[in-house]
Amino acid sequence: MSFAVEPVCSSCTPLDMGHTPEDFRETGQRDLVRRLWIIAPFAVLTMVLGMAMFFPVIFAYIPEHSVNYVQLILTLPVFWFAGWGFIVDAWSAAQHRLATMDTLVAVGTSTAFIYSATATLFPGLFHDAGQHPHVYFDTTVTILALITLGKVLEGRAKRQTSDAMRKLLGLQSTTARVLRVGVEVDIPINNVVLGDTIIVRPGERIPTDARIVRGTAIVDESMITGESIPVAKRDGDTLIGGTVNRTGSATAVAIRVGKDTTLQQIVRMVEQAQVSKAPIQKLADKISSWFVPAVMIIAIATFVVWFDVSPVETRLSTAIINLVSVLIIACPCALGLATPTAIMVGTGKGTERGLLIRNAEALEIAHTVTMVVLDKTGTITVGNPSVTDSIVSDAVDGAALYSAIHSIESKSEHPLAEAIAMYTQANGASLVDVSNILVHPGAGIEASVNGDRILIGSKALLNTNSIAVEAPFQIRIDQWQKSAQTVLFVAFNNKHVAAFALADTLRATSKHAIQLLKDMGLRVALLTGDTQATADAVAAAVGIEEVYAHVLPHNKVDIISRLQESGNRVAMVGDGINDAPALAKADVGIAVGSGTDVAMEAADITLMNSDLQSVPHALQLSRATMRNIKQNLFFAFIYNLLGIPLAAGVLYSSYGLSLNPSFAAAAMALSSISVLINALRLRSFTFHQA
Amino acid sequence: MDTVQWIVTVAGIGMIVAIAVYFLFKSEDVAMQARTIRGVQELSIIVKGGYSPSVVTVQRGTPVRLIFDRRETSSCSEEIVIPEYGIRRGLPPNEKTSIEFTPASAGTFEFACGMNMLHGSIIVE
């Protein structure tokens, strides 16, 4: 097995045991905390000395004329441990003609520091120029301490935004118990190959996707599907790697390993979604490209204006302090964090519920949906139809016909065909040779058996072949259709000879889910290839008034287009395979998954469970995430829009309001943390249940 | 206004113009072609206050390995995000991190830091 040149996305697979992003961040975080502890005592002493005039007792220990020197000495370690890094980073960025957050902090703190150091070491220069040599060491250390503290808190909050991803990665077992030459051995997960026999014991996590060959298991799949009730599995059932076997023991064969497993596909999909960009972010992106230089320009203008309008003896210090305030209060980070963090937390929250969101754009569009169109089979119903009744004409040999039907239907994967194949088999049919198979999508199938031409399919298939329904069958057929059953017709050498009634059961939560959608103010419609009578019966049972029946697969797309043209934003909910074109055409395609089919190309949102309530839940999550993003963007914009002029002192002349740079530093640190905390609120978002 | 104020005002305006010109009107970087070694198109990108080179050219269909050599600790560059290929990867400071992908379609795709302050682009030919 060679991974070297494969199109790998190594960060998303725990098979790559290299650096996880958190490893070094933990180290960085610890380093920041260490720096904070080192600078704390120096910073506190400097601040106290900065307020020495309020504590005259200090002058008993330190002569008044040397207070500034002591402050300068105390500031040096703070500047070295907390400030120098910003200067280095700002310098590297400047070489790329880039100005970042580091630039603002570096220029702001070093201006305050150099000014204060000059005033301390060469007060004569200031006196000669008629300036009072005021120092701002306390401001310098406060800014640095607060920004460092802010970074520590920001790091903690940021870590939580990727909690969902970490949980997913944690589901991957590192070893598997397999049968090798008749002996049970524990081997590293990377060594498991397709076809390996896996031993699943009670209480253990299932190492990889596998099919049970012997035994039973009650499996908790909540971590993948969001479904809280454990599922009973037996021979032939598929186990999803990462889920937990609660009770029972089973032997299973590995059917997907490595990066092909359901879990790894989910991880990749979530990772892709989390890096994708929401269209709403564009404005913030545009602004952030010129934000920092603009702030620097405003800061210089502020300096010049204050220098020109202030009294001679204080003009330099006033100009300096306002310049520093403007540089420090501006926070491009809040703008940059606003959208991506909410997207990360929102998509992560969805994953926990079994809602896989393809990308941020899908999430954004989903909140504008006005109409939900639901497929019937497999979406509102279980999608597992079974034959409830049948009629066969006396004119044919029933047993031979059943064998022919069984043999033809066994070749098809259509759920109705499977149901008929099972029914005929249970009624004594055997396999015979079939030739000339021709599938009519959405209508049925035709084939030859012993030279006889057999058609199995809908009424439409009979009609296109100009075959009339046998009159004696008509009453039974009408009854079946009235009771929402699907009817399949069989023609033998262009004569109608048999009919089957098939019924599908409604999913327990379908009615509930449709009520939830209506409560959200959405228009709900049913779209199916089934007959009008069957569709109407199902629609009535779940409370849908708008029904599009008898729609062939390729016409589903037309219906969706028509609905879109008449001004609806359409979400189409279907099974992801037969409905793929309609899902792709809809504004938002929602695929109802079976739990293992993750990579549904056509779907914007894939439901890992079969609970239709996941549809309103996905739309609710999209609305909540978009609301959160808008709050974040609003806050980040307003913060900078109000903070920068305030720091520049625009309110000074009329209200005497100006901003101490220390407050500016606190506000700046708080602004990005507020955005993060607001995004993290999405983690506790509760899905509305009717 | 006294002479000092005039000097400060003129100097201030000069600095504003300088900042605007230097940071806002910069030309695009020259694209650097990846070298193909044993079937993989490889290129090192130094991460220090930005990406050098910030524009890389690769061929469609052949695996690409970008080696991000991060030579700083600034939190700005601690993540690399390439939305087109679904990649968000942490870059440990003072280490080289390989990112691999195979470009399927031609076009120009952005990469950026986690907060979208530092930018670069991949030109797929």
Give the DSSP per-residue string, A551-578. --HHHHHHHHHHHHHTT--EEEEE-SST
Tokens at residue B87, please?
């990649």
B101 near A CB under 8 A: yes
Cα distance from A652 to chain B (closest Cα, Å)?
Answer: 20
Q: Could you tell me the domains of chain B?
A: 32-124 (2.60.40.420)
B10 near A CB under 8 A: no
Q: In what order do the strands lie in the sheet with A435-440?
A: A386-392, A495-503, A486-492, A452-457, A444-449, A435-440
Q: Chain B interface, mutation test: which of A6, A11, A292, most B Cβ atoms within 10 Å?
A: A11
Q: How many CB atoms lie within 10 A of CB A683?
A: 15
Question: Closest by alpha carbon to A458, among A531, A547, A539?
Answer: A531
What is the predicted ipTM?
0.87
8 A C-beta contact, residue A566 and residue A545: no
Q: Chain B interface, mutation test: which of A30, A89, A259, most B Cβ atoms within 10 Å?
A: A89
Q: How many CB atoms lie within 10 A of CB A448?
A: 16
* pLDDT of amino acid A22: 59
Task: Work out the mean pLDDT of chain B and round it to a whole number.
Answer: 89
B23 near A CB under 8 A: yes
Q: Please give the positions of A annotated as active site.
A: 375
A88 near B CB under 8 A: yes
Report how far apart the first and last C-alpha atoms of chain B are (Å, whole number).
60
8 A C-beta contact, residue B69 and residue B47: yes
| pLDDT, block means (10 residues), chain A with 690 residues | 34 39 75 91 89 78 84 93 90 88 90 92 86 86 89 84 84 90 89 92 91 92 82 89 90 91 87 84 82 94 93 88 91 85 91 89 93 88 84 89 92 84 90 89 88 91 90 89 85 93 86 94 91 86 92 87 94 81 90 63 83 93 95 91 90 78 87 90 83
Selecting from B22, B40, B76 the residue whose C-beta is nearest the C-beta of A97 gives B22
Q: Do A336 and B86 touch (CB under 8 A)?
A: no
Q: Do B50 and A92 touch (CB under 8 A)?
A: yes
Is the alpha carbon torsion for A5, A10, A15, A20 positive or negative? positive
- CA A66/CA A475 separation, integer angstroms: 109
Q: Which residue of A has its CA nearest to B82?
A: A275
Q: Do A28 and B19 touch (CB under 8 A)?
A: no
- CA A532/CA A528 separation, integer angstroms: 9
A10 near B CB under 8 A: yes
B53 near A CB under 8 A: no
* pLDDT of amino acid A16: 41
Cα distance from A374 to chain B (closest Cα, Å)?
Answer: 30
Residue type, A330: A
B36 near A CB under 8 A: no
Q: Which residue of B has its CA nearest to A305?
A: B9
